[in-house]
Structure formats: structure tokens, C-alpha cells
Structure 1
Amino acid sequence: MAGWEWDESLYSGSAAYYARGRVAYPPELADALANALRLDGSGRLLDVGCGPGSLTLLLATHFEAAVGLDADPDMLTEAARLAAAEGITTTRWVHERAEDLPAGLGAFRLVTFAQSFHWLDRPRVAAAVRGMLEPGGACVHVHATTHRGTTTESAPPHERIAELVREYLGETRRAGRGVLPEGTAGGETAIYCAAGFTGPERIEVPGPVVVRDIDDVVATVFSLSSSAPHLFGGRVGAFESELRSLLTAASPSGKFREQMREFVVDVWRP
């Protein structure tokens, strides 16, 4: 992502919306990883760029302890709240940038990146993570699109929502204080291989069909870095009002049904 630099405002204001706005990782994803990696409740998990703990909490019961690391303190506050609500007491939340790893965190049986790797200094972080894996450990990269699925006639009007965002924020995709005219970076395979990983072993889990209401879709929009609440400044209320009107017109019942895309997991070995 040439010309773009991370800054602390990337997801400013999004934490309160993220868990509701993003479709949850399904239990089948945890089951598939547990089977592939022979998880038996031992060892430690590190979830890098954990956000509000969406994957951390799903996998936590497969380990003795889990660490969620994120650069956004509000995301970690939300993660701690959700962990308490679920009665999960084996998680620790660390406010740190991934670029500061290993950060004295020790060794892990599994390190995960779920919709976070593209925001990082990837060669640096991949090399650091490889050195943090215990013998027999693995690194998992989750490819997922949890804010929208495939188009159906009863899905949220994603393109019209995108047009509304552009009306308020401009044609070029925003990200923190910068812009991403060409989107986020790809090419993860080359990064992992250059860091000394072997693989990947690929696991695919079908996406669910979900039914969502207007509040869910509003939360989805505000959960995105490209339409985080802070980007709208004093116009955030006007934007939300227009967004709700658009959604009500698209579905007078206030309900949307959508087939989510499959979850693709790459398992990398050191």
C-alpha cells in the first residue's frame, strides 16, 4: 500500500459497531482448525489484530490461554466486555502494534491473522511471528469477507450504500488519515514464504445464510475503516439518517437475507 501509513484513527469509533456489524465466524471454522491442528486444550493462542476478539473468543476454549493483540484500545475494551459476557476467563488483551512483536509475550502454539494482516508491515510481522511459534506450532491466515455476502434480491443494497458513502467522503477510499485508491495489499503467499514458512494447507468452510436488520447493516457500515464514524465528522448524524432511509426504502420489513462467502483458511508451518 504505497504512500499509506497506519495511524491510530484507522478504526476510530468503530469498536462499538464491529461485533454486531460483522457476521460472526462460524463454529465450523473453529472445528475445522481444531481437527487440522489437533487442538486439545493445551498451549497458547495469539490473535494478531484481534479487534473485539471475534476469532480470539471463538478459539479460546481450544487453548489453555489466549492473547488478543490490537493497536486500538477501544477494540480491546469491547473484546474484554464480550469475553466477560461469555464467561471466558482465559483471555488476555494486549494494547500493542503488531510491529512491536514479540513484545515479551513468549511462545505460542498458534498465531492467527483474521482480516488484519494487510494493515501491517507484513514482512516484519511475519518474521517475528515465525520466531514466536513453539515446536509443532502453526500460523493461520483467515481470508474472509464478514461485512457483505453474495448478491441476492433480498440482500442489503451494498452498491447504493457505497454510493452514499462516496457522496459524503469522496470517490477515493479513506483509511485513517490517509487514502487507499487501490485498496489493501494482497500477495500474502509470497510474504509468508519469504519469512520462512512452508505451506499453505488450505481449509474452506462454507458461509452461512444470515438474516439481518437495519441496525445490523448500519453497524456494518460503521465497522469499516473506509466509513468509520470519525471520517464523517459533524455530518455523521446526517449520514446515518440518510443510510437508514435508504435501508427502509430497500426493505420495508426492515429485514435482509444474504448468503455469506466461504471462509478460507491458510495454515502455515515454520
Structure 2
Amino acid sequence: MADETHFVTDLYQGTAGYYERYRLPYPAPLLSRLVADSRVSGGGRLLDLACGTGQLAFPLSPHFAEVWAVDQEPDMIETVRAKANAAGMKALRPVVSSAETLDAQPGSFELAVIGNAFHRLDRELVARRMLGWLGPGGHLALCWSSSPWTGTEDWQRSLADVLNRWQRQLNDEERIPAGLDQARRHLPDPDVLAEAGFEVVGRSAFTAEHSWTLEELAGHIRSTSFLPPAVLGDQAAAFDADLAATLHPLSADGLFTETVSSAYDLARKPD
């Protein structure tokens, strides 16, 4: 069954600076386990697809001879390019392209990763393309981490209420396609990979505590596709004031602590 939900393009336009500064890095234990589980050789090529500003490409790069960092947003790739140039990373190749139209040769990659983005793609098409891009025995990891408004702490519930209220107020609810959760329940990501021809290896999960300031939460929200700067517009100051008024009473020290969940689903291309 083909995916029935589709995100419009350019949802992250203008968010790269916030994305780079306020998105949490993937935890070191997750990255170490992923390198071990995918049995990388140290001399292969990595594909970070829908890479954002390189939250997976950069920390995984020491384990590869070459890295492709691919995103359809030019601002994201410009940030990746600037970071790579500043670090003297000549083996990192920034590419502006959607996942669905990327031009890559069969068997090009030893490991492919997608961070917090597979649900935004044409999953079945991209899974088939990834299978072809990987060499025999190569791995695909679907990585994700939780968002601060999805937890059960009082401040997280209040934050979710603020975000929902402002999405309605700014008529912005259509940026998230209707039926997205239903489509993923009907055909979970591991099933998509299995139908494409992957051997599903399994999931590795991790947790870690993180404390946010109000400024960091506001910046993180501006890195999202549903309330980026382009949507907040001239209401940004009013949003910040509402956020502060709602959350300040819920913290004695100005910090908002959550247990962040992160994980990856690993799949393997048969030999």
C-alpha cells in the first residue's frame, strides 16, 4: 500500500540557524552502538539522508572515508558546507536534493542513516532506493529522538497546549498532514523496510536527562516545521511572552528537565 500522506516542501525554510543551535545531539552511546551494530569497515561511505545540519553526518564521519550529507533545504546544506569547511573536512560532500530524487550509484554506501525524517518521505519509494544504494550486507538506520512537548511532566503538557493553541491561532495546523499517525500505525516503518527487501535487525533504545532554559525551548520550537520563524512572523514576541507566562510558574530555577528518548531501527541489505 502506498503512503497516503505527503508533506509539502520548504517546511524548514529559514530554520537552519535554530536547527543547528537548539537541536539536541544524538547521545554518544547511541552512535557507538550504531557503529558496532552496522559493522562498518572504517573505509566505506556514509549517506545521511534528510540530514538537517548534519546531526548524524558529523559525529559518524570519523568511521568513514567519505560522507554524503543530503537535504532538500539549501539553507541546511549551506550550514553543513560551512561547518565542513571550518573543520577542514574534505571528505564530506554536501548535496541539495530530496530523498526521492537523489542521484547515487548502486552499491555506493556502507551505511545509510535518516534522523527524525523517514515519516516525512515517500517511505516505500525511499526504502527501495536505499536498498539499491547500499552494498551487499550494508545497513540502514532510522534514527529518532523525542520532542520536549511529548512527555508527561506538567511543563511538557503545558508546552504542548501552548503549541497547539498557537498553531490554531496562526491557522498552521495543515503543515502536518492529516492521517499521518494512522498511516504509520497501518504500515510501521520496519514493515516498510521488510517489504522493500531489507532484513530487519531490530531496535536499540537509549534515554538521557536534559534540562532546557526558556530561551532554548523557544529556539528549539523555531527549528520545527510547524512553528518556524516564517510562521510566527510578527507574532514571535507575543508567542515568547505566552510561552514564558505559561511555563515560568512550573519551574523554581528556570530549568525544565525531561527524560529524552532516542533510538534507531536497524535493517540490513542481504548479501
Code of the residue aligned with 1:219 in structure 2: it is G
Go from structure 1 to structure 2 and tell me whether the alpha carbon gap of 1:262 and 1:100 turns closer, same or farther (over 3 Å shift): closer
Code of the residue aligned with 2:156 in structure 1: it is H
Q: Cα deviations across residues 160-215 of structure 1 (Å, max 9, x unaligned)?
A: 2222223322189947x6442344542112211221112x1124242211122222
CA distance in structure 2 between the partners assigned to 1:170 and 1:209 by the alignment: 31
Name the residue aligned to 1:181: 178
SS at match of 1:66: strand
Go from structure 1 to structure 2 and tell me whether the alpha carbon gap of 1:43 and 1:21 turns closer, same or farther (over 3 Å shift): same
8 A contact 1:111–1:140 mirrored in 2: yes
Name the residue aligned to 2:232: 232
- Kindly report which structure 2 residues correspond to 1:35-54, keeping only aligned pairs within 5 A, or say none: 35-54=36-55
Go from structure 1 to structure 2 and tell me whether the alpha carbon gap of 1:235 and 1:104 turns closer, same or farther (over 3 Å shift): farther
8 A contact 2:175–2:226 mirrored in 1: no
CA distance in structure 1 between the partners assigned to 2:156 and 2:153 by the alignment: 11
Q: CA deviation at 1:252?
A: 4.8
8 A contact 2:193–2:267 mirrored in 1: no
CA distance in structure 1 between the partners assigned to 2:46 and 2:178 by the alignment: 34
Q: CA deviation at 1:124?
A: 1.2
TM-score (norm 2): 0.85
Q: CA deviation at 1:251?
A: 2.5
SS at match of 1:259: strand
My pick for the range that moved more, 244-253 or 127-136, is: 244-253
Q: CA deviation at 1:26?
A: 0.9
Name the residue aligned to 2:146: 145
Q: Which runs of 5+ in 1 are unaligned?
A: none
Go from structure 1 to structure 2 and tell me whether the alpha carbon gap of 1:23 and 1:129 turns closer, same or farther (over 3 Å shift): same
CA distance in structure 1 between the partners assigned to 2:30 and 2:171 by the alignment: 30
Q: Which runs of 5+ in 2 are unaligned?
A: none
CA distance in structure 1 between the partners assigned to 2:46 and 2:87 by the alignment: 18
- Kindly report which structure 2 residues correspond to 1:21-36, keeping only aligned pairs within 5 A, or say none: 21-36=22-37
Go from structure 1 to structure 2 and tell me whether the alpha carbon gap of 1:152 and 1:204 turns closer, same or farther (over 3 Å shift): same
CA distance in structure 2 between the partners assigned to 1:30 and 1:201 by the alignment: 16
Q: CA deviation at 1:10?
A: 1.2
| Aligned equivalent of 1:168, options 166, 169, 174 | 166
Go from structure 1 to structure 2 and tell me whether the alpha carbon gap of 1:202 and 1:174 turns closer, same or farther (over 3 Å shift): farther
Name the residue aligned to 1:247: 247
Q: CA deviation at 1:144?
A: 2.6
8 A contact 2:116–2:145 mirrored in 1: yes
CA distance in structure 2 between the partners assigned to 1:172 and 1:124 by the alignment: 33
Name the residue aligned to 1:11: 12
Name the residue aligned to 1:259: 259
User: Percent identity among equivalent residues?
Assistant: 28
8 A contact 1:17–1:222 mirrored in 2: yes
Q: CA deviation at 1:67?
A: 0.6
Code of the residue aligned with 2:178 in structure 1: it is P
8 A contact 2:50–2:99 mirrored in 1: yes
TM-score (norm 1): 0.85
Code of the residue aligned with 1:181 in structure 2: it is A
8 A contact 2:145–2:263 mirrored in 1: yes
Q: CA deviation at 1:138?
A: 1.5
Q: Cα deviations across residues 68-96 of structure 1 (Å, max 9, x unaligned)?
A: 11111111222233445555442111000
Name the residue aligned to 1:112: 113
Q: CA RMSD in A?
A: 2.7
Q: CA deviation at 1:229?
A: 2.2
8 A contact 1:123–1:191 mirrored in 2: yes
Name the residue aligned to 2:221: 221
SS at match of 1:242: helix
CA distance in structure 2 between the partners assigned to 1:16 and 1:252 by the alignment: 30
CA distance in structure 2 between the partners assigned to 1:141 and 1:178 by the alignment: 23
8 A contact 2:140–2:267 mirrored in 1: yes
Code of the residue aligned with 1:256 in structure 2: it is F
